[in-house]
Homo-oligomer: A and B are copies of this chain.
Amino acid sequence: MLSLSGLRLRFGAAEIIAGIDLHIGAGELVVLLGPSGCGKTSLLRIAAGVERATAGRVENGFRRVAMVFQDPRLLPWADARDNAAFGLKAAGMGKAERRTIAEAILLRLGFSAGDLDKRPSQLSGGMMQRVAIARAFALSPDLVLMDEPFSALDVGLRHDLQALLRAEVEGAGAAVLFVTHDVTEAVRLADRIVVFSPRPACVVADVTQAPMLASVGAAYEASAALLRRAEIAAALAPPGASPLALAGARERLSLAGKASAARR
C-alpha cells in the first residue's frame, strides 16, 4: 500500500504540487495524466523517497520498489547487461546469476545478443529505455513507478510491453504508478486514471475503469470519450492550444523567424 496524503511541494516561492491524495494497493495499476510541467515526475520522485515533500505524508508499505525514470539513468561505463543487472547487484545477487537474468529480460525486450555488450553511448534512445525497464523488472518489484516508460518505443514493442506490464500486475500482484501522455495507453493499461491540473498540480479527475488491452478500437473510443469530458479536456487539451487559435501566435513566430533570417 502506497499512500500519499495532503502532498505539497514548493521550489522556492513556486508551488508545484498543491495538495494531492493518492492511494495504491497491490495488484492495482494507476495511470497519471497531466500537462507537461505539472509535477508528475516530482510526485513520482516523492513517492520513491528520493525527493522530500514540502508538506504531507508518504507511507510506503511496499518492500521492493523499482522505478523507470523519465530519462534512462544508465551507468555510461557499464554495458546494457550490467546496467540491467544493477538492481540485482544492489540486492546482493552473484555475478553469473544476475547476468543471466538480465540477459533473459533484455532478449525478451527485443535486444539481440550482440547488443548486450553495448554501452549506453552505443544504444539507440529506445534501447536505453528498454535497459531501464529491464533494470526495474529484473527485481520483480512489488511497486513500480514508471515515468513515461514507453515513450521512445515503436508500436509493436509498446503493445508488447503493455501486455507484459498487465501480466505483472495481474499475475504477480505488483502495484504500478504509471505516467504517460498517451491517453490511449492510459485507457489500455489502467485500473484507475488520475488526471492532474496544470501547475500547481491537483487532481481534476479520478476515473476507475477496466483496462482495455484486448481491443484497440474500444481503447480508442474510451480515450476519445475521456478527452470529451470538460474537466479533463481543460487540463490536457485546453482550448487556447487548439489549432483554431493558432493564427495570431503563428504570426509572432514567423515574425521572429523573419528577424533572424534578416541577420544571416
| Interface size bracket, A side | 35 or more
Residue of B11, B64, B181, B213 touching A122 (CB-CB under 8 A): B11
Which A residues fall within an 8 A CB radius of B? Answer: 11, 14, 33-37, 41, 63-64, 70-71, 87-88, 91-93, 97-98, 101, 104-105, 108, 110, 114-115, 122-127, 130, 137-140, 147-148, 151-160, 163-164, 167-168, 171-172, 181-183, 213, 216, 220, 224, 227, 236-238, 241-243, 246, 249-250, 252-261, 263-264
CB neighbours (8 Å) of A124 from chain B are 36-37, 41
- Central interface residue in A105, A157, A183, A255, by most chain B CB within 10 Å: A157
Q: How far is the CB of A76 from chain B (nearest CB, A)?
A: 13
A36 and B241 contact, Cβ closer than 8 Å, known pairs A41-B125, A252-B104 = no
Select from chain B the residue with minimum beta-carbon distance to A139: B260
**Given A88-B263, A157-B241, 14 further pairs, Cβ under 8 A:** A33-B154, A35-B154, A36-B127, A36-B130, A36-B153, A37-B124, A41-B124, A71-B125, A138-B260, A140-B254, A140-B258, A160-B242, A167-B246, A220-B220
Q: Is the CB of B157 within 8 A of A260?
A: no
- Show 14 residue pairs from A and B whose CB-CB distance is below 8 angstroms, ordered by the A residue: A34-B154, A36-B124, A36-B126, A36-B154, A41-B125, A71-B125, A98-B260, A154-B236, A155-B227, A160-B241, A160-B242, A164-B250, A172-B254, A220-B220
B152 in contact with A148 (CB, 8 Å)? yes
